[in-house]
A and B are shown apart, each in its own frame.
Chain A
Amino acid sequence: DADVTQTPRNRITKTGKRIMLECSQTKGHDRMYWYRQDPGLGLQLIYYSFDVKDINKGEISDGYSVSRQAQAKFSLSLESAIPNQTALYFCATSDSNYNEQFFGPGTRLTVL
């Protein structure tokens, strides 16, 4: 079984809809991250969390919110989706500062 899972894997939605992307991990890591990737660009950090009570904004948090429901779960919400949020979204985890991050399989989101 995959260590980091994301649901859904693909989603098509309409402008203005509320969308939630979910991430679960079995690695026992405290640190969890949400990134988006646009064609031809690297990964941009949206939000990150170092434990259940910790939420931090990344480079591009506007239009997004997150919830860390448990050590193993970190969800990303788009309160009112817009077309320029069409992208590939990745969840990642790490065990400590400055170490390798492990990525989930990604969610491809299309906002029409």
Chain B
Amino acid sequence: EDKVVQSPLSLVVHEGDTVTLNCSYEVTNFRSLLWYKQEKKAPTFLFMLTSSGIEKKSGRLSSILDKKELFSILNITATQTGDSAVYLCAGYFNDYKLSFGAGTTVTVRA
């Protein structure tokens, strides 16, 4: 069965720190990998990655995919308290359904 594993489960940082979130997957037929941010409400889309080695970037957030090693990372630089959220990794694998990891809870302290 396809599986998405995120690490760490949670972390606490101070404003200005850099955060790296990990997402690994065990799948038989990879299609694309997505990152979402969830702040006590609906998940909001951040990135979709389909090609290995190509970084997607939006402001202080960036993400990259390694299809050979079956993982993705999400980086947040110069963190702010507004970055506090649960970050979800999800993948389209064998079929047309998104499989989600359990998420990483990021808490940014002022």
Write out, one digit per residue, whether chain B residues 11-52 have a CB within 8 A of any chain A CB (1) or not (0): 000000000000000000001101000000111110010100
Residues on A with C-beta less than 8 A from B31 are 97-98
Is the beta-carbon distance between B97 and A58 smaller than 8 angstroms?
Answer: yes
- What is the CA–CA distance of A106 and B101 in the complex, to the nearest angstrom? 19
Size range of the chain A interface in the assembly: 20 to 34
The residue in chain A whose Cβ has the minimal distance to the Cβ of B101 is: A42
Interface residue count on the B side (C-beta < 8 Å): 23
Instruction: Indicate if B71 sits at the interface (CB-CB under 8 A).
Output: no
Docked-complex contact B97 and A90, CB < 8 angstroms: no
CB-based A-B contact count at 8 angstroms: 53
Closest to A102 in B: B45
Query: What 0/1 readout, one digit per residue, does chain B (56-82) give for beta carbons within 8 Å of chain A?
Result: 000000000000000000000000000
A-B contact pairs, 21 of them (CB 8 A): A33-B97, A40-B9, A41-B102, A41-B103, A42-B4, A42-B100, A43-B43, A43-B90, A44-B100, A48-B97, A90-B42, A97-B92, A97-B96, A98-B32, A98-B50, A98-B96, A101-B45, A103-B43, A105-B41, A106-B41, A106-B42
Q: Using a CB–CB distance below 8 Å, which chain A residues touch chain B?
A: 31, 33, 40-45, 48, 50, 58, 90, 97-106
